[in-house]
Structure 1
Amino acid sequence: MTEPSSRPAAPAAPKGQKRPEMKVRPTAPILPSANIQGNALMVVIAIMAFLACLTLGGVSMVRSTAASWESQISREVTIQIKPEDGLDMDKALTEARRIALTFVGTKDGQIVDEAATARLLEPWLGSGLDIKELPVPRLVVITIDETNPPDFEAMRALLKESIPQSSLDDHRTWVDRLVSMAHTTVMIGTGVLLLVFSAMVLTVVFATRGALSGNRHIVEVLHFVGAESSFVATEFQKHFLKISLKGSAIGSALAALFFMGAGFLQSRTLATPQTDQATALFGTFSVGALGYAGIFATMIIIALLTTFTARLTVMRTIYEIDTLRSDPARADGLPN
């Protein structure tokens, strides 16, 4: 004999009409979609994403600038002539340029005039300089063939013999330092990214455990009436995925806007000596399409890392609950 159901039967539909469909009420999520803890975690993730994207963009910018420096330095050598009493500086500059261009492997030579020299010194000594009244060395920039460079030692000796006040700088030392600096910058940036990701993972672990602690009774009821661990973990995973996506999107967008704003301001002040020096040292404040793709990838990685961390934490916590329940001696200490 079949036991009658406690649920009332649906009323019979009149003849010729369809029975109205029963609407299933959607289940409420285990965790509320918005609360103080979730908002705080979203702000923390946004800050972490901003720092991570800022570090990634900075490393990318420094690497491209170092590569540009290396390329420019490897294409040029500099002849420096120190001022001295009785020295005809203009004649010495012209002679140094002529001697350098006699060597195979040189393409062109440019004498840095007084106006350009004064402009180079303007950030430190101010405007309105009279170069003739200052003991400032003058420069000749020689463009060389990278594939077939000249004999620098022979050029240096001939210049020294013809113009004792001259010296040749082939920038080899600077190239080695730039390569070393680029490698060091990449290592530092990678270390900062690892620290940011580690701090974010720990933050998510504590936030997940806090959410579990506040909803422990719900989790226990669901788990012991038959809900599998994967179901509970998926509910928490969805919750933290939404939070992490919002937070990482906000932080990544702020980082992208920062680089765009810095590049815009730099383009508006290119004529000033301060901007020229900053551009020479750091390059343009633009990360390019590859940099923005890296920022987007960082946002996705942060969201996935947060979600994966939350899932592992929930599974671990449920395993601890099962372990405590299976041990009567330890379960007696659990609160009712």
Structure 2
Amino acid sequence: MNNRPPPSQTPSQRTAPRPAPAARAPQRSDGPPPPRKGEIQVRPTGAILPPSNIQGNALMVVIAIMAFLACLTLGAVSMVRATAASWQSQISREVTIQIKPDDSIDMNQALTRARDLALTFVGTKSGQIVDEAATARLLEPWLGSGLDINDLPVPRLVIITIDENNPPDFAAMRDLLTSQIPQAFLDDHRTWVDRLVSMARTTVLIGFGILILVFTAMVLTVIFATRGALSGNRHIIEVLHFVGAESPFVAREFQKHFLKISLKGSAVGSVAAASLFALASFWQDQRLATPQADQATALFGRFEIGFSGYMGIFATMIVIALLTTVTARLTVMRAIYEIDQIRSDPSRTDGLPQD
């Protein structure tokens, strides 16, 4: 065998050691590092339910509609309560003394006498006599303009402002006015206040009834959607449950899925309701002192729900999301329990029970 070196290499090249290769700078990588020798690479697990499908989108729309109706009802109840409280406060601050016209009395003197008698009671602040021009303006919407109050048997009014926190003794005031001025009649507006309070309570009860109906419909919808998802993924759930996956694990996967859907749907519905109230308030502010705005304000009050109203809308969104999540979890736990009952009974082979 020929061991002679090739002629292209010189003796120095044959004897000189080879230089060590230069160390390369480590390259940065955004992904996970490659597994070391002997390590087992764990692949990321996929979700039991698909992240988005037709059923999920439909359920999201239904939850958005339910959230919109619930927030709209809550805001309307808040508006009615605020309007009723404002009316109640305005009515409670004043009492009215009516003096019927009579030929045997001097009307101006009787008005002054009635005001002075009312102001002698503790709890009264001030008194104002409604003059003839103001009385004519009050009757103008019904009888037209150009009225002569002296030609009509129209009672004259005295408005007494009272302290709401320390009101006077209306019974004693009424008896004193009747004894001194027989034509005088004291109206403390208690009947109107009681009616407003009753109306506000009835409105609140109706609003809560509507909220209960909306939440009930939403819970039933979530139950049907969860049952449908269970039926569509029954084989996956049965395999996971057979290899050792416990019920809380499967329920947690469904819970995450429906939590995302409910948060998206309730957020869309709540934002839509809050935007509607904000737009209505902006429209009312832009049309102040117009017939349309005045009529809307007189009938519905201000289209403002305030900070507490918007916080109530946010709380409603959270409640809807939590209610949907808890409903989905309980439904899944119940369905898996039924699967276990079916497996333990050899006579039943129908699988997942149908609704």
Q: TM-score, normalised by structure 2?
A: 0.76
Do 1:114 and 1:131's aligned partners in 2 also have CA atoms closer than 8 Å?
no
Equivalent residue in structure 2 for 1:244, among 249, 262, 268: 262
> Is residue 2:48 matched to residue 1:21?
no
Aligned pair 1:208/2:226, yes or no?
Answer: yes
Q: Which runs of 5+ in 2 are unaligned?
A: 1-20, 27-32, 36-40
Residue pairs, 1:314-329, within 5 angstroms: 314-329=332-347
Partner in structure 1 of residue 14 of structure 2: none
Alignment of 1:159-308 (within 5 A): 159-160=177-178, 166-273=184-291, 275-276=293-294, 278-308=296-326
CA distance in 2, matches of 1:314, 1:110: 70
Is 1:33 the counterpart of 2:13 in the alignment? Answer: no
Instruction: Quote the Cα distance in structure 2 between the aligned partners of 1:58 and 1:115.
Output: 39
Aligned partners of 2:59 and 2:235: how far apart in 1? 23
CA deviation after TM superposition for structure 1 residue 45, in Å: 0.7
Q: Give the number of equivalent residue pairs.
A: 319
1:312 aligns with 2:325: no
Q: What does the per-residue CA deviation read over 1:20-43, in whole Å, with 9 as the maximum and x for residues that have no partner?
A: 614754333222222221111111
- What is the aligned partner in structure 1 of residue 75 from structure 2? 57
Aligned residue runs from structure 1 range 112-191, under 5 A:
112=130, 125=142, 129-132=145-148, 139-157=157-175, 159-160=177-178, 166-191=184-209
Letter in 2 for 1:21: P
CA distance in 1, matches of 2:236, 2:296: 58
C-alpha contact 1:233 1:315 (8 A) present in aligned 2:
yes
Rate the CA distance shift 1:81–1:59 in 2: closer, same or farther, 3 A: same
- The answer for unaligned runs of 5 or more in structure 1 is 1-13
* Other structure's SS at 1:79 match: strand
CA distance in 2, matches of 1:152, 1:334: 76
Instruction: Kindly report which structure 2 residues correspond to 1:63-142, keeping only aligned pairs within 5 A, or say none.
Output: 63-81=81-99, 96-112=114-130, 125=142, 129-132=145-148, 139-142=157-160
Deviation at 1:200, TM superposition (A): 0.8
Correspondence for 1:5: none
C-alpha spacing 1:314/1:121, structure 2 compared with 1 (3 Å): farther
TM-score (norm 1): 0.80
What's the offset of the Cα at 1:169?
A: 0.9
In 2: Cα distance, 1:211 partner to 1:118 partner: 71
Identity of aligned residues (%): 75
User: Aligned equivalents of 1:265 and 1:88: distance in 2?
Assistant: 50
Q: What SS does the aligned partner of 2:288 have?
A: coil
Offset at 1:91? 6.8
Secondary structure, aligned partner of 2:44: coil
Paired residues of 2:127 and 2:160 also in contact (CA < 8 A): yes
Which stretch shows the higher mean deviation, 193-202 or 180-189? Answer: 180-189
Task: Give, as a single letter, the amino acid of the residue that structure 1 aligns with 2:278.
Answer: M
Structure 1 stretch displaced more, 148-157 or 225-234: 148-157
Deviations 1:276-332 (A, max 9, x none): 45434543221111111111111001001101100111111111112112212102x
CA RMSD of aligned residues (A): 3.4
Q: Distance in 1 between matches of 2:193 and 2:253?
A: 55
Pick closer, same or farther for the CA change 1:145–1:334 going to 2, 3 Å.
Answer: closer
